[in-house]
Amino acid sequence: MAVFKRLAHYFAEKKYLFIMATILAFVAVLGTLIAPVLVGTTIDQLVGRHQVDFTKLNQDILILLVLYFGSNLCLWVATWLSNNVAYDGVNRLRQQLFSKLDRLPLSFFDTNPHGDITSRFVNDVETISDGALQGLLTTLQAVFTIVGSIVIMMRLDLVMALLVLITAPLSFLTTRLITKKSQHYFKMQADDLGALNGYAEEAIAGLKVEQAFQHETASQADFEQLNQQLYQTGFKSQFIASFANPTARAINNIMYAVIGLVGCLRVITGQISVGEISTFLIFATIFGKPFSDFTSLMTQFQSAFASARRIFRIIDLPEEIPDPKPAAKIDQVRGEIAFDQVDFSYEPQQHLIHDLNLHVKPGQQVAIVGQTGAGKTTLVNLLMRFYDVTAGKITLDGIDIRQLTRQNLRQQFGLVLQDTWLFAGSLRDNIAFGKDDATMAEIRQVAQESGVDEFIEKLPRGYETELQSATDSLSVGQRQLLTIARVMLANPPMLILDEATSNIDTYTEVKIQAAFNKLTQGRTSFVIAHRLSTIREADLILVMDHGQVIEQGTHQELLAAKGYYAQLYESQFAK
């Protein structure tokens, strides 16, 4: 009920349209219920040769036509209106969900599969729009139909009414029994299909590795087994389900025969007219339908509510700490950064950074080195406030970064990551992502400086080449060059390069390095790199291990200290 109320809130803005839809649905049902009675009285006029009042007959047929046409029209408008309400509400829900994502802490995205989050936007929201309102309208129609049919049939003849009431839901009940049995196999079939799907996806994605390890035969055998399993469950579910329709039809036919037979007896004894037999036969069909709709309606509702719950779970998640009001503001950053007794852990029980102290002078180029998992990226995460420190503080130009708005803090940095992110659009748009008003000349210049122009110029459509998706056929290095050009164009006051050149050949890397040196002249910058050749010139090198800075100094100082850095350097440049 709570979920229902909450959902209703999203559709409330257009509730008058839904009320109109309900009224129209009611009128439509009324039309379909009056029609059988009219069919009965019309048949009753066919009393014998030369005794038919054709004027009255034509009139009744015309009314019947109007009734059927009118009720279908009403139903069409009702469906259209309720769809309108549904899409409007669902639109609002999707919008709220998307804006919520911007306010969720990054830890949410780091710990939840992205596919699952996407499916809430696409599948869950769609299920709600299908289920909630359309389902509600169909349920209301079903209730009108059941109540209306009972009232009209009782008024015509009690015995016949009872007969229809008892026999009409019979075929529904039998079908339900059969589908229940087959549902078990359908679920197994869905699971098997999911497994097969997953296997195929994995195999296609890893085809190259699979061939390199000569795993094709084993993979074919695995697939064969999964495929066979799917065939078995698919066959069983279809076999059982195939009984549903013929059984329902057989029961319906028997039911018509019984109603016809009892009807004839009632005609002979004068309780009802011949026409009324037809009326009851039509009612038997009309009355059975809401029952057969019932199961699918219930499933529809259940999935809609389950989807709503999944969406509300995200909407109710605690958001990241809001920006302070009023916030401090940095217009012209000097670039002095200090970590002051900083503690941090991703998981409360797993300590990562403890009592970290650091001081970076304005304009310094800082390099961070260390083994995989040492905490280098974590330092960047803290600096950009993707995560907040658990103790201590980080200051920028003497201001605690938590006193700034996130936007003000982040606009001071240009960030290039190892994982590139490009969007569907032209190469030009992708480079100009951080500077909407960039001119073509500016774009060309950064492309040249980053070295990406060489490959762009070779493309038939050059800068206008459209990237279709994240998996476009660019090499990893080319993608990285594009993101480097992007940050060069944005020209941020400070730079953070997290393994930004890890996939680029050494020749291009040297070229980029020169461009970066030009860019970072007099600006504070952080470079995370595994290749120590790229950071020799840094003003300050931080060596990290297990979340701690274990050594710091210039390249020469660290070599002289003959510590961890010296060892690392030796290992990379050993003769």
Ligand X SMILES: Nc1ncnc2c1ncn2[C@@H]1O[C@H](COP(=O)(O)OP(=O)(O)OP(=O)(O)O)[C@@H](O)[C@H]1O
Binding pattern for the stretch 425-444 against ligand X, x by CB under 6 A and - elsewhere: --------------------
Nearer to ligand X, 245 or 572 (CB): 572
**Beta carbon of residue 421, minimum distance to ligand X (angstroms, whole number):** 16
Q: Decide if residue 189 touches ligand X (CB under 6 A).
A: no
Quickly count: other Cβ atoms within 10 Å of residue 542's Cβ.
24
What are the tokens at 108? 């949410």
CB of 371: closest distance to ligand X in angstroms? Answer: 7
- Interface with ligand X (CB under 6 A), residue from 55, 372, 469, 471: 372
Instruction: Report the C-alpha gap between 157 and 154 in whole angstroms.
Output: 5
Q: What is the DSSP letter of 465?
A: P
Under the binding rule (CB under 6 A), the answer on residue 377 touching ligand X is: yes
Token readout for 277 is 């037999």
Smallest distance, ligand X to C-beta of residue 561, A: 21
**Identified binder of ligand X from the candidate list 373, 440, 475, 521, rule CB under 6 A:** 373
- Nearest alpha-carbon partner for 339 in 364, 361, 356: 356
Rg (CA), the chain: 36
Sequence letter at residue 370: G
Number of residues that bind ligand X (CB under 6 A): 12
Compute the distance between CA of residue 473 and CA of residue 477 in angstroms, rounded to an integer: 12
Q: Which is nearer to ligand X, 198 or 373 (CB)?
A: 373
Q: What is the DSSP string of 143-166?
A: HHHHHHHHHHHHHH-HHHHHHHHH
**Shortest spacing between CB 382 and ligand X, in angstroms:** 10
Shortest Cβ 560–ligand X spacing (Å):
25
Name the segment binding ligand X (CB under 6 A); options: 2-10, 30-38, 114-122, 372-380: 372-380
420 binds ligand X (CB under 6 A): no
Choice between 258 and 384, CB closer to ligand X: 384
Please say whether the beta carbons of 198 and 285 come within 8 A: no
Query: Kindly report the CA angle at 12 between 8 and 16, in degrees rounded to 5?
Result: 125
Q: Based on CB atoms, which residue is closest to ligand X, 371 or 403?
A: 371
Instruction: Determine, following the binding rule CB under 6 A, whether residue 110 of this chain makes contact with ligand X.
Output: yes
Strands (E), 216-281: none
The answer to whether 467 and 425 have CB atoms below 8 angstroms apart is yes
- Of 24, 136, 146, 352, the residue at the interface with ligand X (CB under 6 A) is 352
User: Which segment (292-300, 328-336, 344-352, 405-413) binds ligand X by CB under 6 A?
Assistant: 344-352
Q: How far apart are CA 413 and CA 487, in angstroms?
A: 9
Q: Measured from the CB of residue 502, what is the shortest distance to ligand X in angstroms?
A: 10
Q: Which amino acid is at 23?
A: I
Q: How far is the CB of 377 from ligand X (least distance, A)?
A: 3
Which stretch, 42-50, 240-248, 271-279, 367-375, contacts ligand X (CB under 6 A)?
367-375
Please report whether residue 378 would count as binding ligand X according to CB under 6 A.
Answer: yes
Interface segment toward ligand X; rule CB under 6 A; list 18-26, 49-57, 370-378, 479-487: 370-378
- Burial of 428 (C-beta count, 10 Å sphere; 0-12/13-18/19+): middle
Shortest spacing between CB 368 and ligand X, in angstroms: 8
Distance of CA 94 to the CA centre of its chain: 9
| Residue labelled with tokens 């007959």 | 57
What is the rounded distance in angstroms from the CA atom of residue 280 to the CA atom of residue 294? 22
Print the binding letters for residues 144-163 with ligand X: x by CB under 6 A, - otherwise.
--------------------
* Part of the chain binding ligand X (CB under 6 A), chosen from 32-40, 356-364, 369-377, 453-461: 369-377
Contact between 370 and ligand X by CB under 6 A: the answer reads yes
Taking the complex as a whole, how short is the minimal distance between the CB of residue 388 and ligand X, in angstroms? 13
Residue 121 found at the interface with ligand X (CB under 6 A) = no
Q: Which helix (H) or strand (E) holds 552?
A: strand 548-553
Among 29, 33, 366, 374, binds ligand X (CB under 6 A): 374
Cβ neighbours of residue 110 under 8 Å, at least 6 residues apart? Answer: 346
Closest CA to 335 of 396, 413, 414: 396
The smaller minimum CB distance to ligand X, of residues 453 and 509, is found at 509
- Among 135, 148, 375, 414, interactor with ligand X by CB under 6 A: 375
Q: Which is nearer to ligand X, 372 or 469 (CB)?
A: 372
Binding region for ligand X (CB under 6 A) out of 90-98, 191-199, 278-286, 346-354? 346-354
Report the C-alpha gap between 281 and 160 in whole angstroms: 10
Which are the contacts of 516, defined by CB distance < 8 A and separation ≥ 6? 495, 497, 525
Closer residue to ligand X (CB): 539 or 545: 545
What is the nearest approach in angstroms of ligand X to the Cβ of residue 105? 10
CB of 378 closer than 8 Å to CB of 352 = yes
- CA torsion through residues 377, 378, 379, 383, sign: positive
**Which of 108, 256, 294, 346 is the binder for ligand X (CB under 6 A)?**
346
Contacts of 102 (CB under 8 A, 6+ apart): none
Q: Which residues bind ligand X (CB under 6 A)?
A: 110, 346-347, 352, 370, 372-378
